[in-house]
Structure 1
Amino acid sequence: MGIGRLRFGVEQAVTLHRQASGLVAAVRRALEMPTETGYSAESTAEQRAIVAHLTRTAAELAPGWLSSPLTPETPGSTEAPGGNRGNGIAGSIGAADQATPITLPALVRIGEARPLPDAAFPLLIPTLGKGHLVIDADARDPRVTALIRTVLLRLLATMPPRELRVLIADSATVGAATAPFRPLFEAGALPAPVTDRDGLKHVLDEAERQVKAGHKELPYLLVVVAVAPELLEPADAARIAALAHAGPAARLHLLVTAHAGKPLPNSTQLTLRKDHALLVSPGGETSTIPVHLDPAPPTSVITEVAERLAVEAALAGRTELASLLPAQRWAESSRAGLNATIGRSGMAEQTLSFDDATPHWLVGGRSGAGKTAFLVNVLYGLATRYAPEELILYLLDFKEGVSFTEFTPTERDPSWIPHARAVGIESDREYGVAVLRELDAAMSQRATLLKRAGVTKIGELPETIARVVCVIDEFQVLFAGNDKLARDAVDLLESLARKGRSYGIHLVLASQTVSGVEALYTKRESIFGQFAARVALPGGAGVLDPLNNAATALRLGEAVVNTSAGAPGHDTVVRFPNPHAEVETLAELRHTLWQARPAGSEPPSVFEGYAEQHITNDPVFGIPVHRRRAEVIVGRNVDVSGSTASFPLDASPGRHIAVLGPSEVGADILHAAVAGLARQHGPGDVRFLLVPLVAAADPVCDDVVVDLDRLGHSYEILDGYRLRNVLAEIADPATDGAQKPTYLVLFGADAASGLLEQRDPERRRSGIDDLRTVLRTGPARGVHVLGWWRGLRRFGEDVGGSSAREDVACLVTLNVPGAEVAMMLGQSQLDWQYRPNRALLIDRHTDRIATIVPYVRPGRYA
């Protein structure tokens, strides 16, 4: 603002103050005039002069919409009523006229005072910035309805966007008194009137929150209490009286109808008579001059103004992500904590922190309420405010969506957010637990650092250690059921929630509901009690205290923020932007952060839930040949890094691989195994014996042949009869069996069982006998069997039953019931339930049992 403009504003304020003082004196003189007949000519002339002065002064103190008569022509003009360019009206409602700033307290015309039968002056009452308006009749009286509509219209048309909030409790007319303002309610610019006792209590709760906040950056709040007298409880009347006393200092103002008790403080009070009203000023002075209230503004005026206000409010109410981001990138330190600007409360930015007071956040909201938008805002805000050396992000999404894909590189866009360490898209429980385990391990490492340094908090270390924020969307999926995995998740989450604050590890748990999770029944308070920060979006009241109803009337794009574990009376309503409506802004911001990443930054590890995984994308696929010990690659582990799931091969008995289950993915896993092995040996160094025994494996075997040909390996394709001969050759202890390392690959091994069971009358052995011998002695001679059995029972019979369990130590089970797998392993139970694109890896020699994502051929799940 320039010096000249500032000087103009100050001088104008001084002038208006002087005029106001003159107005008060004139009003007092007018109020003292006799109203009986028998005026002298001198007194009549004096009264007319005072009335004329009051009329002129009123136009200056309350220009435009605040005092001019309201006519049907008003909104159609580009000027305010009376031809004056009014505050907030300059061709469109709500666009404040900078040349005519609003003067507070705002004086609003409600009618005329008539000291003489043929002379009247506008009656202005102080509202915003000063006091309240109270009337003794209820809104079922048409004059009261007219008064409500007049005051609302004048103030709404005058105040700039975001500087006035209105809450209406109307049980007297069930909302009819403010019906013409419906466009504002439908557009969400104003909350719709509440019409019952619970609604009134909610309105009073919100008013009390305004008083408790009490700072000057809040917008004004006008509360219209048009409650039927018979429905007003004494406790609510007492709350209204308290609000009247404390309200003006906190920008809270009341319009109360049907008030018949003790005069409310700071209030202008109207008493209705048959054909006029009497006024009592906030100072308690009673006027004897008849007051004639203005008729209701024409409905067409209110409707048109409301429609234009709705448009203006929609434009002004847009909170853009860019406006919430810091001006300078990576300028803040995370030593004392992290701050995120999450939206606006009125005109003020609202910040929520990760620190000792609010180490973790709990976010709730129904589907479609904007949880993803809220979380994306927070993440971009943090990533812009803090450098990657100050902040590490773990992002998990358990729902079917793409909440966090924009933080990862894709085929279309190679950029990523450099703070992201791991991103889970359509995560499953195993991956979630893996992330929690990694965070728990990091917490243990940091605890050691703090102990060595002799401090108790990460911020007290001499060097900067990046804080970690882990966001888990739809976190309740982690605890589905009551199995070992759920119990592990609960234990890990409890440890992180209770101890994470000291080590700079913070959690954000988001969900549609936090109730009904069986695994959390005994741990609910010990876990959620650490989440002091609660964010409730529409439908997310479950994250608040059961007695807190602050989230019941939220609109899309709004949230209640509570930093006292959801307790009533500690709520702030904020409005946050939809970042996905700012596609170009997000893309530009992501690329800016990506291009500024530290040298050597690696993209985040991405776990894509149920996306196909292919051997060609394996991190160790294609490594140099002649490794010390070959490994059979079968898929990816469900861990943070997405490491390779494999079985090392050595001379130990039982180092064979059996894939079990009728799913044709079994053939794909053998394809991946052979492809991986082929790249670990030089051409001619090993022999591959391929045995396609079922039709489903033929195209897979063909692909294996193409791959082996490309790499220059020797191989043979066998049928069932030749398989029997080869088994006899390899199993015969009188021969070398295998002159060089050999991989016997059985596609559908169970299909050969009938043939192999036939005994050779000369050798007195069957093919099954030879197979069992190979399984027992093959690894020591460099022979390893890789087989796919479609049935668990047939596999057990082929290898020799329970006594031969250790002869095949490496298993991959597909669509086989967990109970049957447990029985095969000799265990009482096993937490395994098959689902597509998952397999169970079992290594008997290391006692490892883990869920993996098996490698498949492209298009398997298409």
Structure 2
Amino acid sequence: MPKANEQKRRVVSALGAVREKLGMVLGAAQAGRQIAEAELARLQLEQQVVRAGIDAAAGDENLAAALRHPVMAGVRDKLDAQRNAFYADAATVPARLRDLVAQAASGPASLPPSAWLGRPGLEPLTPPPLWRIGSSTMDNSGPFPVVVPLLDDSHLAITTAPRTRQAVESLIEGLLLRVLSSMELGSVRVHLWDVAQLTAVLPNLYPLSRTSAVTLYDPDQLGVLLDEVTGHIRRIHAQTMQAGHTSLRGLRDQLGQRIEPWRVVVLFGNGETWAAEPLRELKRIAGAALAAGISLITVDIPTVLAGSFENIRMLGEHRAATSMTGPNLVVDLDQPIPSAEVSAAASRLADALVEKQGGPRSFRDLLPAELGQENSARELRAPVGFFEGDPVEVVIGDASPHALIGGPSGSGKTNFLYALLGSLAARYPPDELALYLLDFKEGVSFAGLAPGRRDASWLPHARLIGVNVNTDREFGLALLRFLADELRRRSAAAKEHEVTDLAGLRAQDPGGHWPRIVAVIDEFQYLFAGRDGVTNTATALLEDIARRGRAQGIHLILASQDIAGIDAFWGKPAVFEQCTLRIAMPKARRVLAETNMAAVAAPKWHAVVNHDSGVAHGNQLAHVPDASSKDIFSSLQRELWERYAQEHQRPRLFDGAHSPLLEHSGAFTALTPGGTPRALLGQSIDVADTACEVELTGAPGRNLAVLGTAIAEALSIMDAAARSLARQYPRHEVEFLVACLVDRCAPAVGELADGLEADGHRVVRLSDVELGEHMAKLAEEPPEHARILLLYGVDGALPLLEQKSPGQLKSGLDHFRLVLKQGPGKGIHTIGWWRSTARLKDTLGFAGTDDIGAWAALDVQGSELSQFAAGQVVHWSPRPGRALFFDRSTHVSPEVMIPFDRPEHPS
């Protein structure tokens, strides 16, 4: 029992302790609740007093009684203290705002109009971020300026109220004039569009519309404006991304200079929602425009747009609310500048801009202050003209590797090419830039760039100059083959150095010679004038160079009067797709994109320069100064020649209108006695200045046949062969047996024979009657020295050669055939002229054509030559001054050559 009582006592004691603790907790909770309720009541009372106003609360009986309650003691004191602290701090806000505006909105951005109106500004690299529109006040603390961001920082959206349109126009005019007077002339361009006003979009700014500073758009031109803005954004985005930046501001800060003008696009709406397509375009523009240096000012366009926007909501004619100041402060807008003063200021700015841009620029304005200071490792960049005083550049590099230039006759295409070549040559030395220039039309566009009789200077950058080659499509093909070979050479070097482009190759191989190559082919469509092997090969080569040339610094500039006439590329757009740089002269067709009609409206002496494959947003109009008139380009050429000529060879000049002289051929002047004799026949149509030649070895068939009735060309080939061979033999060590069976050629042949004798060589003149007898001697007697048979009009001697005297087993023709077959092995070579392929076949008989190892055909159709070219189909249409040459030992297929000019001397 005692034990049970003890347990009961402990339980009762524990329960009592629990009751005590619970009472304490509940009491604390009750007290806490009372405190919280009292604090809530105090806060609610504070809120009521603040809403009513501290001073007004004293006159409210209910609030006054509440404030006198003992629990609310101190509420009034607290609110008085906070009010006093607020007003003490607020009193400093206007001064601080004024200081901030003075720093962030300096000069015309915040000063009164009297300090800047109508005065051109100087360009800061970064424009002011804030621009004044009015002022506001907070209680009795004094006014402070109200500013809004623009240009690189924000767009601006304005919402009107009834009868506030004029006030909004004045507001925008004031903002735009502040901008135009803060920035350098020409660095800001304004675009104005109004959905409802046909001729009165900010009319006080109209004087600026005669310059690039202000452009006006009719109500139905919204699509045109949006397309232009979209094009600017795309072009600038590509430009900045290529430089490794996300915005134009970043690129500008890196370069330390302005590279694009700022643009302000003002769009006046009427409160109605736009159609779906232009609205989508505007939303896309708003999100990307600031990064491209484009700001929007929209009026009554009830759409939420992307990007950073500040808002101005008109409350009356001179009052507004802004997102910068919040809804509780009213902004008093600055007084509008009187219309007459706005118009006068716009006129002064327009005059100053026109004066700054100056009159028409000259070719000298395209040139740098110092010649030859640029490096071409990354790209070629040069101005070709001017737009309102600013230079317009052409860039040739990885992004725009090849160019297409088009313009009808008289549109200034040749002048543009001279402006481009001069601007490039002035900036890049010949070690940085190599030019290959080809003109297919009947003219001498590039002839002045080579040394001539009147001017011995030449353009040191030029490696090849081809003129008057409209009938020599093979020369264009030779240039493409040369470029393809150079492309392979550079690709192999790049692979060896484990790089992928020209810049990398030059960095890894600084001792190598790797200039950028620019090949200009004027009237290039002549390359594809026929449906033949030349066209097929040229097309394939051009496509390959266009695709792969950019990486190795090989660039094509293709020019034509009428691109529409080219059939070779139908269904093969590879070349045109690579020509992202398009230059359209006035009235040019199909150079730009199909929907881009800029060239139609381009004035004379201008060009539309487009680096975006001809799409309209890439258009840049440029006035091209006179670069091709007398003494303009030549003066620059002489400067460059005096600077670089000693270190660089003169360019190779190919003039299709003139036959080359044998004496001027490097192959001829290099001939000396000794070695295997080579008969020179004419000039090869090739990039290198080489001659077509036939080696007269002892191998069977080393004889030459000249085929055709063209007397002048036949005499020229025979003459060149004889004179070049004579140069390779010492005196009296060769005998020329000369037989002329064409009376008209006798004086020329006699002159050649006399010349050979004068040089100390043996010459035997044979008549037609003596020819057969000498053939028998040549076939039967061992030779004492080398002999060359020069036979003119062999077919004329065939009747006599075929005759046999009584008792003879063989005719002269039989002996001649034996000489052709066995003669080369004994040092006897025949160079003969047959006036038809049939007579040559008769001469050779049934032995085939193997005894004629080489031939040069003149006015002979290709179909007649297949039997002499190993049976292959020969594509050849005779043309004056040209011959088709084939040597079995060196040629896969015949090649066109130019016979050397043989001056005719009076007899």
Rounded to whole Å, the distance in 1 between the matches of 2:349 and 2:881 is 55
Larger Rg computed on CA atoms: 2
With the length of structure 2 as denominator, give the TM-score of the two structures.
0.65
Where do 1:347-426 residues align within 5 Å?
Answer: 355=397, 357-358=398-399, 360-367=401-408, 368-426=410-468
Contact 2:737 2:789 in 1 (8 A): yes
Match of 2:117 among 35, 39, 62: 62
Deviations for 1:603-640, whole angstroms, at most 9, x for unmatched residues?
Answer: 22222233221212111324565332222111111222
Structure 1 counterpart of 2:401, one-letter code: H
Question: Is the 2:795–2:835 Cα contact (8 Å) retained in structure 1?
Answer: yes
What SS class does the counterpart of residue 875 from structure 2 fall into?
coil
CA distance 1:788–1:15, shift in 2 (3 Å): same
Q: Which residue of 2 aligns with 1:432?
A: 476
Amino acid at match of 1:594: W
* Distance change (3 Å), C-alpha of 1:729 and 1:339: closer
Gaps of 5+ in 2: 1-100, 134-147, 161-168, 241-247, 253-257, 324-329
1:838 to 882, 885, 888: 882
Check the 8 A contact 2:363/2:627 in 1, yes or no.
no
| Counterpart residue type for residue 458 of structure 2 | W
1:811 matched to 2:866? The reply is no
Q: Distance in 1 between matches of 2:774 and 2:759?
A: 27
Partner of 1:68: none
Question: What is the rounded CA distance, in whole Å, between the counterparts of 1:478 and 1:281 in structure 2?
Answer: 69
* 1:774 corresponding residue in structure 2: 819
Structure 2 CA distance for partners of 1:644 and 1:189, relative to 1, 3 Å: farther
**2:532 paired residue among 470, 483, 492:** 483
Q: 2:378 aligns with which of 337, 354, 367?
A: 337
Give the 3 Å change call, closer, same or farther, for CA 354–159 of structure 1 in structure 2: closer
Shift of 1:853: 1.5
- With over 3 angstroms needed to count, the CA separation of the structure-2 counterparts of 1:533 and 1:321, relative to structure 1, is farther
Check the 8 A contact 2:584/2:608 in 1, yes or no: yes
Matches of 1:789 and 1:639, distance apart in 2:
27
Alpha-carbon separation, structure 2, partners of 1:241 and 1:395: 48
Classify the secondary structure of the residue corresponding to 2:895: strand
Q: Measured at CA, do residues 166 and 715 of structure 1 come closer, stay the same or move farther in structure 2, by a change above 3 Å? A: farther
Q: In structure 2, do the counterparts of structure 1 residues 561 and 760 end up closer, same or farther at CA, with 3 Å as the change threshold?
A: same
Say whether 1:851 aligns with 2:896.
yes
Match of 1:635 in 2: 682
Pair 183,799 (structure 1): closer, same or farther in 2 beyond 3 Å:
farther
Residue 244 of structure 2 corresponds to: none
Partner of 1:80: none
Tell whether the 8 Å contact from 1:426 to 1:610 is kept in structure 2 after alignment. Answer: yes
Q: C-alpha distance in 1, partners of 2:403/2:108? A: 51
* 2:157 and 2:311 in contact (8 A); partners too: yes
- Between 304-313 and 449-458, report the one with greater CA deviation: 304-313
Q: Which residue of 2 aligns with 1:649?
A: 696
For 1:164-313, list aligned pairs within 5 A. 203-205=228-230, 217=258, 218-219=260-261, 235-236=277-278, 239=281
- For 2:177 and 2:879, the matched residues in 1 are separated by 61
Q: 1:794 aligns with which of 814, 836, 839?
A: 839
Q: Give the letter aligned to residue 538 of structure 2.
A: A
Deviation at 1:793, TM superposition (A): 2.1
CA contact (8 A) 2:109 2:178 kept: no
Q: How many aligned positions are there?
A: 745
Provide the secondary structure at the position in 2 that maps to 1:580: coil
Name the % identity: 26
Question: What CA distance in whole angstroms lies between the structure 2 residues aligned with 1:541 and 1:253?
Answer: 35
Instruction: State the Cα distance separating 1:439 from its structure 2 match.
Output: 3.5
Structure 2 distance, partners of 1:414, 1:794, is 49
Q: CA deviation at 1:817?
A: 1.6
| Aligned counterparts of 2:322 and 2:791: Cα–Cα separation in 1 | 99
1:534 pairs, out of 581, 604, 608, with 581
Cα pair distance change 1:506/1:245, threshold 3 Å? closer
Q: 1:620 to 1:288 in 2, by over 3 A?
A: closer
* Change over 3 Å in CA distance of 1:21–1:410 after alignment to 2: closer
Report the CA distance between 1:392 and its aligned residue.
3.5
How far did residue 689 of structure 1 move?
3.6
How far apart in 2 are the matches of 1:697 and 1:657?
19
Contact 2:109–2:131 under 8 Å retained in 1:
no
Q: How far has the Cα of 1:822 moved from its partner?
A: 1.9
Question: Is 590-599 or 169-178 further displaced after alignment?
Answer: 169-178
Equivalent in the alignment of 2:668: 621
| Structure 1: gaps (5+ residues) | 1-12, 24-56, 64-86, 89-95, 109-124, 137-144, 272-276
Does residue 726 of structure 1 match 2:771?
Answer: yes
Instruction: State how far apart, in whole Å, the 1-side matches of 2:542 and 2:669 are.
Output: 38
8 Å CA contact 2:387–2:623 kept in 1: the answer is no
Separation in structure 2 between the aligned mates of residue 187 and residue 19 of structure 1, nearest angstrom: 24
Would the alpha carbon gap of residues 278 and 511 (structure 1) be closer, same or farther in structure 2, given more than 3 Å must change? Answer: farther
**Aligned to 1:508, which of 556, 580, 586?**
556
Q: For 1:575-594, what aligned pairs fall within 5 Å after superposition?
A: 575=622, 577-578=624-625, 580=627, 586-594=633-641
How do 1:430-469 and structure 2 match up within 5 A?
Answer: 430-456=474-500, 457-465=504-512, 466-469=514-517
Residue 375 of structure 1 deviates from its aligned partner by: 4.3
Pairwise CA RMSD = 5.7
Q: Which amino acid aligns with 1:62?
A: L
1:373 & 1:282 partners in 2: Cα distance? Answer: 58
The answer as to whether partners of 1:817 and 1:834 remain within 8 angstroms in 2 is yes
Aligned: 1:748 with 2:790: no
Which stretch of the first structure deviates more once superposed, 612-621 or 758-767? 758-767
Aligned AA for 1:780? G
Shift of the 345–281 alpha-carbon distance from structure 1 to 2, 3 Å rule, reads: farther
C-alpha distance in 1 between matches for 2:182 and 2:888: 78
Structure 1 residues 328 and 631, CA gap change in structure 2 (3 angstroms): closer
Q: Contact conserved, 1:169 with 1:199, CA < 8 A, in 2?
A: no
Contact 1:169 1:203 in 2 (8 A): no
Shift of 1:657: 1.7
**Following the alignment from structure 1 to structure 2, what is the Cα–Cα distance between the partners of residues 314 and 747?**
71
Please identify which structure carries the higher helix content.
2
TM-score, normalised to structure 1, is: 0.68
Q: Deviations over 1:19-54 (max 9, x none)?
A: 97998xxxxxxxxxxxxxxxxxxxxxxxxxxxxxxx
SS of the residue 2:850 aligns to: helix
Cα shift readout 1:680-700 (whole Å, capped 9, x = no counterpart): 334443333433333542453
Partner-residue secondary structure (3-state), 2:484: helix
Contact persistence 2:190–2:263 (CA under 8 A): yes
